[in-house]
Structure 1
Amino acid sequence: MESLRFESRDLGRTEAFLNRAYTKMQIGSTAPQVSARISRTAADSMSVDRIEIGFEMSYDADPLGKICLCEVDSGTIEEHATDGWEDAFGPGDLVSFAPPDRPYRGKVVRSKYTITMFDPALLTRVAGVSRKGDAPVRLLDHRPHSRAAARQLSQTIAYLGDDVLANPHVQASPVLLASLSQLLAASVLAAFPNTAMAEPGVVDRRDAHPRTVQRALAFMESHLDQGIGIADIATAAGVTVRAVQIAFRTHLGTTPLDHLRRLRLAEVRTELLAADPSEQTVAQVAARWGFHHHGRLAAAYQQAYGELPSATLSRS
């Protein structure tokens, strides 16, 4: 996906743009004046769009093929229908707009809202449904299970759209992009009821032995510079995600992803110690190893090594 900007007072141009940017759709309006403004920040398979529709606009759209989240800032979205349900959304609502494979229709009434889209396969990867024959993870409701969960997801979307996706360091780092996509997918899974919500089974607990940890560690250490996630680690270890999570908690007192971050933090330190301060910055080094939030990086680094990463770089 590429970042984009669009602004028009013409209904035909607006419909043509929406067809190019989203999916095939028909829009309509009897309003005497039309105004539409859209801006997109995007990286890899993720996009965050800020949309302002300044008139009453009906829409009838084909499936998007993506997870599509909608957060309303002002105005309303009414008579929105898809997959057997119909609802209306107002300021503060954050919803899953439509299943990736289902058409949808409705009406925007002078509304400002945010559309966040990403590859639905990310849900399955992050949830760890990796065994052959397992069904892809699906969301079971279009509304989050609590207001607190919705607020947390809203903060994640704002962070991605406002702070990081347009950052050139992010755009140039496959590891960083992978960690951000995992963050977004994990936030969605935490917010919405979904088919991955299941307790560990007997097989998961049986497979949570030290050899699982050893295989997982070997895979992590040989793929630190790649955009691996929990599903990749579990597959390399030959077990389910739940099994590898139980194994790490039982034998190392941590989680696979926390351990992966510690390994990458050590690589940051090694690189900072060898770097030339006149040619490298902490942000550049951190981005190469998947750290996109500099405040959290500094706190974790200081806790691990007793100094800030900038201090390590300045004396290298």
Structure 2
Amino acid sequence: MQPLLFDSRDLGQTEEFLSQAYAKMSIGGDVSRPHTQIARRTLGSISVDQLNLNYGMSYDVDPLGKVCLCTVQTGSIVNQVAGDEEEVFGPGDVVLFAPPDRPYKGEIRRSRYDIIMFDPDLLQQVAGTEPGHKPETVRLLGARPISDAAGRHLERTIAYLRDDVLGNPVMAADPLVASSSGQLLAAAVLAALPSNVRAAPDAADRRDAHPQTLRRAIAYIEDNADAPITIADIAAAARVSVRAVQHAFRRHLDITPLGYLNQVRLAGAHTALREAESGGTTVTAVAASWGFFHPGRFARDYRAAYGRPPQDTLKDRVT
């Protein structure tokens, strides 16, 4: 998939493009011919924009309706979300630029940076709550990561999606890759940024974490492992809350539901490699068809499970 490219020295044209790409906004510039360069790639509901501004640009933006993250490479950004104090972001920062439901304003100061946006429903899926159901609706409560380590993990996740996934058009076009990538990003955001998501199961969750719950969840996973399913889907099939199904897997198998799903998908990829016809496929293609969009990680997990590299299994079959 080719990126959407924008390159202009006209401030009015830039404002029109930004209003269409983000939300209605007004902008200003501090030079007569401000140069704006933007490259956008998309993956499902995720968009990753790489921006380069060689001038100071002021902005005043309506609510985006999306979670908006920012990573800064050069320059600085002064940003203020309505109702919050002004923040200054510089090189190396990875932050929540704006929540979905609040306007924001500020100034880009000759900066090169990335904007990452995604549908807030992804947070709901990963957290296991339904959109619009208060007080369970997920809210991000701060712009900066809760720790340096959490920030580094979120930054690496963004870079991985931008460079490795979106940089591979074949993988980026796969629906399972898109679904898994969205969950990966949302999970990294919830792990890195302060939010209202509660961490521990309550008494009802613990009561529901019985073997029957586990059996229903396992049956659903094994029947749908080749489809883009979420933790919320697994919990719904087991007829319990997300935290109950998570507790059931931890209590009885010492693994998470998504960890178990990963094992089932790994077994599916193993079978596909063993049954491959000569010249008919590659390890990368098989891995991607089962939701493994990082070849190195797939090879590592496969070797840990089966004691040999995946290419050896394929070679045995096709030679």
| Structure 2 SS opposite 1:71 | strand
**In structure 1, distance between residues paired with 2:2 and 2:116:** 14
Gapped regions of structure 2 (runs ≥ 5): none
**In structure 2, distance between residues paired with 1:310 and 1:26:** 54
* Residue equivalent to 2:129: 129
| Structure 1 SS opposite 2:86 | strand
* Residue equivalent to 1:63: 63
Report if aligned partners of 1:130, 1:235 keep a CA contact under 8 Å in 2.
no
Listed one character per residue, the Cα deviations across residues 265-290 of structure 1 (whole Å, up to 9, x for unaligned) are 11111111111241211111111100
Report if aligned partners of 2:62, 2:104 keep a CA contact under 8 Å in 1.
yes
**1:2 Cα deviation (Å)?**
7.8
Which amino acid is the alignment partner of residue 205 of structure 1? R
**In structure 1, distance between residues paired with 2:100 and 2:133:** 20
Report if aligned partners of 2:177, 2:293 keep a CA contact under 8 Å in 1.
yes
Aligned sequence identity (%): 53
The 1:308/1:297 distance shift into structure 2, 3 A limit, reads same
**In structure 1, distance between residues paired with 2:50 and 2:289:** 28
After TM superposition, the structure 1 stretch with the greater mean CA deviation from structure 2, 205-214 or 270-279, is: 270-279
* Residue equivalent to 2:178: 177
**In structure 2, distance between residues paired with 1:229 and 1:302:** 26
**In structure 2, distance between residues paired with 1:279 and 1:79:** 52
**In structure 2, distance between residues paired with 1:9 and 1:132:** 42
- Pairs within 5 Å for 1:36-51: 36-51=36-51
**1:79 Cα deviation (Å)?**
4.8
Listed one character per residue, the Cα deviations across residues 160-204 of structure 1 (whole Å, up to 9, x for unaligned) are 001112423323322221111110000000001111134211011
**In structure 2, distance between residues paired with 1:84 and 1:300:** 44
Which amino acid is the alignment partner of residue 183 of structure 2? Q
**1:3 Cα deviation (Å)?**
3.1
Instruction: Give the TM-score, by structure 2 length.
Output: 0.94
* Residue equivalent to 2:110: 110
> Alignment RMSD, CA only?
1.7
* Residue equivalent to 1:24: 24
- Pairs within 5 Å for 1:63-102: 63-102=63-102
- 1:35 matched to 2:35? The reply is yes
**1:82 Cα deviation (Å)?**
2.4
Instruction: Give the TM-score, by structure 1 length.
Output: 0.95
The 1:43/1:196 distance shift into structure 2, 3 A limit, reads same
Gapped regions of structure 1 (runs ≥ 5): none
- Pairs within 5 Å for 1:259-270: 259-270=260-271
After TM superposition, the structure 1 stretch with the greater mean CA deviation from structure 2, 189-198 or 161-170, is: 161-170
**1:81 Cα deviation (Å)?**
3.5
Listed one character per residue, the Cα deviations across residues 79-104 of structure 1 (whole Å, up to 9, x for unaligned) are 53324332221122221111101111
- 1:155 matched to 2:156? The reply is yes
- Pairs within 5 Å for 1:99-248: 99-130=99-130, 133-134=133-134, 135-248=136-249
Report if aligned partners of 2:208, 2:240 keep a CA contact under 8 Å in 1.
yes
**1:131 Cα deviation (Å)?**
9.6
Query: How many pairs are equivalent?
Result: 316
